Amino acid sequence: MASALRLLRRDRSVSLANDQGLREAYQAHGAELYRYAVRALADQGAAEDAVQETFVRAWRSADSYDPELSSLRVWLFAILRNVVIDHARKRSAKSWPQLAAGPDLPASSDTGPDPADQVLQTWLIEEGLRKLSTDHRDALVETYLRGRPYADVAAERGVPVATMRSRVFYALKALRNALDEMGVTP
């Protein structure tokens, strides 16, 4: 209990805007953040990258940290959670055509995918994307294809993050409908 109280007092005095404060925060919480990231990502290299990205984001937004609202540990874990989600989203973005087509696709044969099928699938999805509104298409391309965080895209577009999430949700539904209209079946 005494060590937790000491840590809380030290967290309130840490300033992430300078090198020393960032070093102290890393020494106090880095190992714990890393263990969480390894469990969440099941990859040590990705976990190291996630922890590094967490501290970069913490440093960039150091002025938004309010020790009256939460401890530094809680704030850093919230950032790490977002980094892990972004990492998972990037992984799934590599197979984004499967998201549009649905999970019912037959398993591919051992000979590898047919290049003609890949070209056709790419063309069909591009056609489906052209049928979406500009806002929906941009939201889908930026978050799924480019793997960018919702918050970054929302800030660029000047809309709330919830609006960006809603646009992506409805864009996926509209893309699915567009593909159905074109006769694409899963």
Instruction: Give pLDDT, residue 113.
Output: 61
Contacts of 171 (CB under 8 A, 6+ apart): 132, 136, 137, 139, 140
Cite the residue boundaries of each domain of the chain with CATH code 1.10.1740.10.
Answer: 2-91
| pTM for the model | 0.47
pLDDT of residue 7: 44
Distance CA 34, CA 15 (A): 21
Q: Where do you find CATH 1.10.10.10 in the chain? A: 96-103+112-181
**pLDDT of amino acid 146:** 86
Listed in sequence order, the residues at least 6 apart from 150 whose beta carbon sits closer than 8 Å to its beta carbon are 143, 161, 164, 165, 168
CATH, domain range 96-103+112-181: 1.10.10.10
- How confident is the prediction along the chain (186 residues), in pLDDT tens digits per residue? 444 444 444 455 567 778 888 899 999 999 999 999 988 888 898 899 999 999 999 998 888 888 888 889 989 998 999 898 888 777 766 655 555 555 554 544 445 566 666 777 777 888 888 899 999 999 998 998 888 999 999 999 999 999 999 999 999 999 888 888 877 765
pLDDT at 92: 66
Report domain 2-91's class: mainly alpha
